[in-house]
Structure 1
Amino acid sequence: MELLRRPVMLAALLAALTLTACGNRDKNPTGLLVDGRTTEFSQERETIWDAFAPDKSDETVRVNKYLWAASLEVLDFLPVQTVDPFSGVISTGYGTPPGGGRSYRATIYIRDTALDARSLNVALQSNGGRAVPESTARAVEDAIMTRARQLRIEDRKF
């Protein structure tokens, strides 16, 4: 009889440990700190019932659509490597502008929904890892802002 109790006790102990592991645990969300706020990219599920929670896939993207479109349009000669509209980052590979001799790559950061110069940040890098002059980056930002304003004006006509 003693031998029969040990496997049953072992099975009960394993079941209790398994259920304990499924219980409440500390959340460790992965996020990005933007302007003092944490933006969560994923949420951990705590119980099986969280699978039946309402879907939040209709959450809005927090970037200016005109700045986003203008950035892709102005820098269309650069191959796009990654885009993340939720954090507002566009990262490109190296490309040569029309009529230019040097190749560049860019990282564009759109941090707000406002059509404002403070919402846009462009970082350019030339081939070889050298930073480009600030005046060149400012000229690209100005071109993006100008095109974004044109897109907004065209959008109002409809």
Structure 2
Amino acid sequence: MLAACGGGQSRPKADLAASKVTTIGVNSYLWRASLDTLSFMPMMQTDSNGGVIVTDWYANPAAPTERMKLTVSILDQDLRADALRVAASRQILQNGQWIDAPVKAATVQKLEEIILTRARSLRHMAFGNG
């Protein structure tokens, strides 16, 4: 009898961990992971209800003639790969002026992977031990 009761208790917890854990408008694990991942960049806008993070231009001190600006959009309350979109802009400094330059697709994909991995880690830390 106790086994049946205990089994019913654990399933909702697993569903909660996999799905809609929010106190904001979007998945809180994706939100926190995005902020953590981009914490080295200056922030222009953060909207937790709309799920949008916009950074200001950031130039790596090791490559001061190149700068990046990112927009992260969290599109859902579920922790899924398709609930995250990263858009990047890149500029290079030529003759004292910033000129738009292409962004490698692999750059955006790598950022999305880093954010998703961090979000899954946060979820695991919150629910994996119980």
Q: What is the distance in 2 between the residues matched to 1:139 and 1:100? A: 20
Corresponding residue number in structure 2 for 1:133: 104
Q: What is the distance in 1 between the residues matched to 2:38 and 2:104? A: 17
Equivalent residue of 1:81, what SS? strand
The share of aligned pairs that are identical, in percent, is: 36
Measured after TM superposition, the shift of residue 100 of structure 1 is: 5.0
TM-score by length of 2: 0.68
**Alignment counterpart, residue 80 of structure 1, candidates 43, 51, 63:** 43
Change (3 A) 1:131 1:63: farther
**Alignment counterpart, residue 145 of structure 1, candidates 108, 113, 116:** 116
What amino acid is the match of 1:116? R
Corresponding residue number in structure 2 for 1:69: 32
Corresponding residue number in structure 1 for 2:78: 114
Choose 1 or 2 for highest CA Rg: 1
Equivalent residue of 1:141, what SS? helix
Corresponding residue number in structure 2 for 1:124: 88
Measured after TM superposition, the shift of residue 94 of structure 1 is: 1.2
Measured after TM superposition, the shift of residue 86 of structure 1 is: 1.5
Please say if residues 77 and 96 of structure 1, whose CA atoms lie closer than 8 Å, have aligned partners that are also in contact: no
Measured after TM superposition, the shift of residue 96 of structure 1 is: 3.3
TM-score by length of 1: 0.57
Structure (1 or 2) with the greater strand fraction: 2
Structure 2 gap segments, 5+ residues each: 1-22, 92-98
